[in-house]
Structure 1
Amino acid sequence: MSVSPPLPLLKRVPSGLWTALVWCTAAVAPVVEYVIMPPRAGYSLSYPRDGLAPLGARLLLLLAFGLVLAGCALLRRRTTVAYALVVAGTVVSTLAWRQDEIPPTQFLGVSVALGHVAAVRPRRTSLALAGGTLAVLACYPVLRWVSGPDSGTAPEPLVALTLAVAWLVGHSVHQARAHTEELYARAAAQAVTAERLRIAREMHDTVAHSIGIIALQAGAAARIVDTRPDAAKEAMRTVERTGRETLSGLRRLLGALRQADQDRDPDQERERERDRARQPGPGGSALRPAAGLADLERLAATTTAAGVRVEVRWRGTPRPLPAEVDLAAFRIVQEAVTNVVRHSGAGSCRVSVEHRQDELAVEVRDRGSGGAAGTETGYGLAGMRERAALLGGDFRAGPCPGGGFLVTARLPLPADTHTETETRATAG
């Protein structure tokens, strides 16, 4: 079970809490410095000592705190209303101090809130709120111009610059999130497509070979049922056995698909599987492990019994293979043999499996017509090519110069597989 790394502090603390900390710090600092602390030689025009002397000023300052804290509490759920409350509280705080400007430090809380808005809301909404805030800022120079000449330095450009920077930062976060979500959605779609292709390959490889064997055996039984009834019965038994194996393979695929169902109780599901395994007949065969090269002899025997002799040759030193390589190699051989049975018209074929140092090579050759298999418009050759490509291997199929059809596949083996084999050989 993987454990996700903890988020940075900036991401663990909600944006509303950051806004409240910044705004309240900026609002409490002048009260402590210029009102509560003893008088000093220096003084502030923006925060005069008697600025909060009237009761109305104190009530306005309390109202400002209430508006801002309410906005910070609602910032995650109702972003637009919450941001408006933060801006309104900041304006009310200037009224409490009877200021004709907004101090840049006091406006940092609004900038933090705007960055959050730009990060979570569409660009049109965040731009509209930023424009409204700039309009509020523009009212202060107009107020100073109406009340009389102003010889000081206007803080509004600096405040507007902090707003712009906050919006740009928030908008970049919004774009990064949108891009990440797009990548996740694209990866999910690719995973679904890959899984569908995998299931399609398994369905094709599992069913196509069995249907070919069933068709051959059923046709042979129909032709000899009057003259050789014992042989016809054996052919029908092969049809029955092949059909049950096909049903078992289909049941494995359906079981794998249903594993994603989280609503079912695992204990009940295991009990159902045990009950089905105990039942006789085609529906009660127990689920077997995934196919591999260990089933190659059984495949050859079944195909030979159907009328097409399959000769299997092993080369190299056999060693344990990764499950995906083992399955892919078997499915490629199975599909190639199925094409021999269905299209080549040959009476036999040869299967070669060679364990090389860093790869597994399989080859299926027949002496049939070869044309039908080479011009097949179905999914057999495409599925074999996909299996080899997914493992980084090479696949080739085509008519042989001397007649017949040849299918070859080279599947690379991981380096640790070769190292493990050498270690076992040395230890032995």
Structure 2
Amino acid sequence: MNKSIFTIAACSVFSIYVSKASAQSGVTIYGIVDVGYINIKTNGTTIIPDEATNTVVFGNSAQQTSRLGFKGTEDLGGGVFAFFTLETDMQPANGFLSHWQDRQSFLGLGATSLGQFAIGTQNTPIYNQLAATDVGHTNNTPGSAVYPIYSKGGTRANGTFDDNAGVGGVSIALTTRTHSTLSFKTADVSGFTLAGIAIIRSDTLSAQSKTEPVPIKNSTSGWGISGQYIQEKFYLGVAYQALKSQNLGYGCAQPGACPSTAFTPDPKVWAWAEGGVNTQDNQYYAGATYDFGYFKTYLQFVNRKVTNLLDASYTLSRSAQQIGLRGFFTSNIESWANIGNGQYTTYGINSPSSKINAWQIGANYYLSKRTNLYAIYGIDKGGATSIYSATSVSSFASGVRVQF
């Protein structure tokens, strides 16, 4: 009898402790699975002007990048909390389910009345504002002037649907994520919120005897800031980021130990989270939305200029603007449409500029709050120049997306 009473009391104490701990902290497993039919056609590229392709595939991530993530928070008391996110892309229709690419991975601390900071791989200020004000909800289908998407490692404008695809977030218009990043975000004050990042990552070779070429110095640095204002149905977001990649190449710490003393790698824009090569990459974005109830209007602008650190006359520039509408026809049928234009100057010295035109239409049919069918059609066009032929990319995608 005493043992039974003791057991019941112990279980009660344990239950209270577990209940209290659960209230203070929690971990959530979340993700997206997006698969369907995809058809992409290209006519001409800046790499091969006369090339035409037609890709047809049962692929993934046309509407949203398939992913798996873990996030959690812990209440530390007094309005202070800790939080983390670990997230990787998933490729359910390809040869490998995932390459465990670091979409977002960070750990941070916050205070309810002040704001928060975090360190890790994180979205940039521009991408966060884009995600909040993009009519297409940053889908991975061609047809956006402000967020064109291309495959990793590919020179053709054939979307994000080959075997290396599914990551999303790689765009010639802007940098979406950065490694080695410290971020901050203030608490909301009368509808205003301020956020920013700082990036520090540097590897320098110390002088020592070497007989093979080794990296001399590689460094990435930068900063970014954004602000947003929300008043009932109106949202305004602006952001700027300046990203620098300096790579002094390879050589020998011991003179004469190598056949070649040094060489400098070719410049590249900051496309992936790890950085670019020998470039200063400046970008800014502005976006606004207004919700009329039956539909929401969108206005977007993005600008980017990349300069070679070793030759300031070697540049790339791109600017574009876009308007759009998005709304529900019925309680479970949603649609959107956008149209945009701009100007693009290819990377080089005194390169000619070409006009950009893009438009997209799409629709969702919600089977539930977390599951929907979708259909998206979009076109990207680049005008001809004295060097390059006109280019065109069109795509149709239809599939199903499940969020969990």
Shorter-chain TM-score tier:
under 0.3
TM-score calculated relative to the size of structure 2: 0.21
TM-score calculated relative to the size of structure 1: 0.20
The structure with the largest helix share of the pair is 1
